[in-house]
Amino acid sequence: MSCLRVFVIGLVLGACAPPARSQPDTAITYLGRTADLVAFATVERITETGGALAGDVTVQLRLTQVIKGQPSSLTVLASIAVQSTGGCGSGGGGGGGAPCIWIAPAMVGKTGIWFLKSGASGYQIIPRRGRVPYYNFDNLFLPLTGPDTAAAPVVLNAAAVDDALLAYQVRWFQSLADPDYRAVDEMFFSSFYLGNSEGPTQQQVLTAIAPLIGSSSPWQHAAGLVVALRVDSADAMTQVVNELSVLRSNPRFPEIVFAIGHYPVTGTKAPRWIAPLRQLLALHADIPGMDAAAAGALYRIGTTDTLPMVAELLESKDPAAQKIAATTLALRYGRAGEYDVELWKDWWSQNRAKLGFPAQ
């Protein structure tokens, strides 16, 4: 895992974490609500039509369980416009061309959840991961073993579809070997994106990831906490603080630090976050990036009762945490540009009582 330089209010927060940038069109509830047909299906056949450089890939699917929609047959054809495998040297991404797709014979026989949109010429595949220059089979659908029952439509209501898809997303994640590469993490975390009207609610996410947080597998447990932090769960923050001595040796701990530094993602300034942050700072844990992450969270919360903790971080051993704390005070008190740490230490000692925080 490489270290990223994460910019927090214009300052560098040195924390190691994958990018995991959330995209609204990859929230699995968005996919489910956008699709006209959502179903477990097995790939029976793949055909490619059109020219050598730009054609349609058509997939013949045998439906084994319908989650949403009313197909006229349990065998459907679905297509996606792509660059052929012979033309994958250019196009896609920012170039404006259609994406490439890797067509492998091994895709035949694969089972998973497909998201399909009805069109004049039949079903179109809604990729599980949008706006990428290359599609492989796990970009196109959620690879997952389907129900053991015979082909039988079972159409769920809208709320049940959301909950089922979130649970299936977690089930897919648990089926993987330790997924320590960025593509999987980004796809998984962005599936729980809250910043879109078609995304899940916080409670839906927390219910879905409960098996991860409760898992005895360290990487699954840490991933569950990351998701919970990314949906602004104060309970997850409290759990991180309580488990800090164990979590800090977890290979995914840098992702947790990263998530703390980006609270609150949804912009909610929840007072419940203040107590666990205060408890975290009281531990004086010598963890790289943690003070800077806490400073970033305090900046975003921005309430008056966070000021003593912000001032405490002026004394941090981490220069990034000091600078974030100084910037927080400068922006709050109308002195933008005055980011000198020593200046704000003096200011705090002179003004804390006036602000209602007597010396301890």
Per-residue pLDDT tens over the stretch 183-205: 677 778 888 877 666 678 899 99
Angle at 113 between CA 106 and CA 227, to 5 degrees: 110
Q: Residue 159: pLDDT above 90?
A: no
Give the architecture-level CATH label for domain 34-155: Beta Barrel (2.40)
Question: Mean pLDDT score of the chain, rounded to an integer?
Answer: 81
What is the structure's pLDDT at 190?
80
What is the structure's pLDDT at 120?
83
Residue 179 or residue 146, greater confidence: 146
- Give yes or no for a contact between 39 and 114, defined as CB atoms under 8 angstroms apart: yes
What is the structure's pLDDT at 51?
41
Which of 186, 154, 188, 129 has the alpha carbon at shortest distance from 68?
A: 154
Dist CA 161 CA 200 (whole Å): 11
What residue type is assigned to position 139 of the chain? N
What is the structure's pLDDT at 165?
94
Quick one: pLDDT band at residue 54, thresholds 50, 70, 90? very low
Residue 260 or residue 158, greater confidence: 260
- Give yes or no for a contact between 310 and 274, defined as CB atoms under 8 angstroms apart: no
Q: Residue 13: pLDDT above 50?
A: no
Domain 3-22+161-351 in this protein, CATH class = mainly alpha
Across the range 287-308, mean pLDDT stands at: 93
Dist CA 189 CA 254 (whole Å): 15
Taking the CB of residue 31, how many other CB atoms lie within 10 A of it?
24
Contacts for 109 with CB less than 8 Å, ≥ 6 apart: 42, 43
- 314-334 pLDDT per residue, tens: 999 999 999 999 999 999 998
Domain(s) of CATH 2.40.50: residues in the chain? 34-155
Domain(s) of CATH 1.25.10: residues in the chain? 3-22+161-351
Q: How does 143-163 read in b/e, with b if 16+ C-beta sit within 10 Å?
A: beebeeeebeeeebeeeebbe
- Give yes or no for a contact between 9 and 292, defined as CB atoms under 8 angstroms apart: no
Across the range 303-310, mean pLDDT stands at: 94
Across the range 34-53, mean pLDDT stands at: 79
Residue 247 or residue 251, greater confidence: 247
Dist CA 208 CA 282 (whole Å): 32
Q: What are phi and psi of 214, to 5 degrees?
A: -85, 0
- 64-104 pLDDT per residue, tens: 999 999 999 999 999 886 554 444 544 444 444 555 665 56
Q: Residue 127: pLDDT above 50?
A: yes
- The token duo for 185 is 């993490």
Q: Which residue has the tokens 């058509």?
A: 58
Dist CA 144 CA 150 (whole Å): 16
What is the structure's pLDDT at 336?
74
Query: 65-79, 215-229, 265-279: which has the minimum mean pLDDT?
Result: 265-279
Dist CA 357 CA 38 (whole Å): 56
- Give yes or no for a contact between 224 and 213, defined as CB atoms under 8 angstroms apart: yes
